Amino acid sequence: MDHNEVVREKMTERYLLQELDPVVRDEFEEHFFDCPECALDVRAGAAFVEQSKVVLAEKPAVVCAPVGRNVKPGWFAWLRPAFAVPALALLLLVLGYQNLVTYPRLRQAQRRPEALPWAAINVGTYGSGGPLITKFPGQDFLLFVRIPPDGNYSRYHAVLYDSSAQPEWTLTIPANPATDEWPIRIPGASLNTGNYTLKLTGITAEGQAREIGQAAFELQDQK
């Protein structure tokens, strides 16, 4: 997928809004996996969405209607000054915070080298045990995924499950016969302490899927 096409089609915004169909979504994930600029846009957009949820979750002040008058609620009620002014102020606050604080920090972190916790896992082992990764709260970490070499697949579909067998995220990994280990940088802020399992499915050029195996690891926050 071409970077100019990503910008032209606004795929970062559509990806965050979950508006891409599965095929295009997989192609976009393959693209920003190797594109630092798009990866930064996705991280910044995700941070903006999370901050917006926090701000918008706050309950608005209750406005009392005059006694003896029937007031019908509706969408146009948000245009009244009692609602529009606070809502606009919150929106400006969020945008200002993102532009002055979040984006500069993300850009600075993108350029700054960092030694990250890491562990290597072998896909195809079905035991419940796995390596222990100890990190600081919210810190990213690296997962080196060793995939059994097979030239019959064009890409791999990875899904990370928590201890309750609930999926945390999915990732498309390009197939390369010359490479049997892929380093994956995982956002630590999105995962809690516990046991996780990575399940891998191979996808052929014809679109056929075959389960390859899984691998487990344990995540622990350093206090």
Print pLDDT tens along the chain (223 aa).
777 777 778 888 788 778 888 888 888 888 877 777 777 777 777 766 666 665 555 555 555 555 555 555 554 454 455 555 555 555 655 555 555 555 566 566 556 677 889 999 999 765 567 899 999 888 889 999 998 887 688 999 999 999 999 999 999 998 887 788 889 988 887 788 999 999 999 999 888 999 999 999 999 998 7
> Does residue 45 form part of some domain?
yes
Residue type, 160: L
DSSP 3-state of 149 = coil
Same domain, 56 and 72: yes
> Does residue 22 form part of some domain?
no
Same domain, 93 and 136: no
Split into its structural domains, the chain has a count of 2
* Separation CA 209–CA 223 (nearest Å): 41
> Does residue 42 form part of some domain?
yes
CB 218 within 8 A of CB 191: no
Final residue before a domain boundary, out of 61, 89, 111:
111
CATH number at residue 169: 2.60.40.2550
Judge if pTM exceeds 0.85.
no
Residue type, 142: L
DSSP secondary structure code for residue 101 in this structure: I
Same domain, 178 and 91: no
Q: Quick one: pLDDT at residue 134?
A: 94
Final residue before a domain boundary, out of 83, 111, 139:
111
**Which structural domain range is residue 61 located in?**
35-111
Same domain, 124 and 216: yes
* Separation CA 119–CA 131 (nearest Å): 6
> Does residue 61 form part of some domain?
yes
